[in-house]
Structure 1
Amino acid sequence: MLMHALVHAADVQDRDGGALVMATLFGAFPFLLKLYADGGYQGPEFRKAVDRVIADMNVEIVKRSDQAKGFVVLPKRWLVERTFAWLGRCRRLAKDWECLSRKALAFLRLASIRLMLRKLCNPA
């Protein structure tokens, strides 16, 4: 279920965009206490940005093992990757067609609503 999303320009780093998402997400959902992030979000800059928004947030970086070779399923990470794959099935989201960020965000929300409706109507 998509709780919150922001679409920004391609020249914004994930870590910087993640700080902006956290600032708006935790204003709407202050009861969230744990955040799972991949290795791109590790470092003091992102941690400081999260601490400014909500001080008692537990940030857990999901890292790949150094001994792993080939494809390895990472805990919690596969949930995000699976959701991206489901959203990628929507033809409009498969390519970057949109010129405006607000249109891209609108189609992302429509695709997530479609996914939620399918899950609700076909609970199998």
Structure 2
Amino acid sequence: MTDTGGRLLRVHVHPANVHDRWGGKALLGGLELRHWPRVRKVYVDFGYRGLRREAEGLGLELEVVAHPLPETERVKGFKPLPKRWVVERTFAWMGRNRRLGKDYEYHPEVTEAWMYLGMIHLLVKRLASAA
């Protein structure tokens, strides 16, 4: 979960054999909005569309960002979808971190910790260059 600037708010890593909806439930289930009182809306990929009840239970509005046209009518090539590119950009920032470039960790909790450390490193670098 990121803010509109692409900074990590919360991470939940799960194995590849777990559907996105169940991972999203775990992410939203432990979410404490007192840390981010200005969060009102959650933009999700099509795989997370079943999380509306969980989001509403937290007082959040859930908006699914999907392709506006059926697959047969889409144009070939890459076309960024509104709001979804923010998270993709964050993945690209994290991929620059050597430890996060490949998935070497055995335990998902370790990957989550490295994601937080990678974002801290990125933010500290930005603060240092701004000073």
TM-score relative to the length of structure 1: 0.84
State the identity %: 38
Once residues 107 and 34 of structure 1 are traced to their aligned partners in structure 2, the CA distance between those partners, rounded to angstroms, is 26
Q: Does 1:64 align with 2:67?
A: yes
- Aligned partner of 1:36 in structure 2 is 43
Q: Choose 100-109 or 19-28, whichever is displaced more.
A: 19-28
Once residues 63 and 8 of structure 1 are traced to their aligned partners in structure 2, the CA distance between those partners, rounded to angstroms, is 23
4+ residue runs over 4 A deviation? none
- Aligned partner of 1:88 in structure 2 is 95
Question: SS of the counterpart of 1:120?
Answer: helix
Is the helix fraction higher in 1 or 2?
A: 1
- Aligned partner of 1:98 in structure 2 is 105
Q: 1:30 to 1:107 in 2, by over 3 A?
A: closer
Q: How far is 1:36 from its partner?
A: 0.5
> CA-to-partner distance for each residue in 1:48-94, whole Å, 9 max, x for gaps?
2333x41x321111112214412112111111101100101112111
Task: For 1:4-15, list aligned pairs within 5 A.
Answer: 4-15=10-21
Q: For structure 2, which runs of at least 5 residues remain unmatched after alignment?
A: 1-6
Q: How far is 1:28 from its partner?
A: 4.8
Q: Does 1:77 align with 2:84?
A: yes
Q: For structure 1, which runs of at least 5 residues remain unmatched after alignment?
A: none
Once residues 116 and 22 of structure 2 are traced to their aligned partners in structure 1, the CA distance between those partners, rounded to angstroms, is 22
User: How many residue pairs were aligned?
Assistant: 120
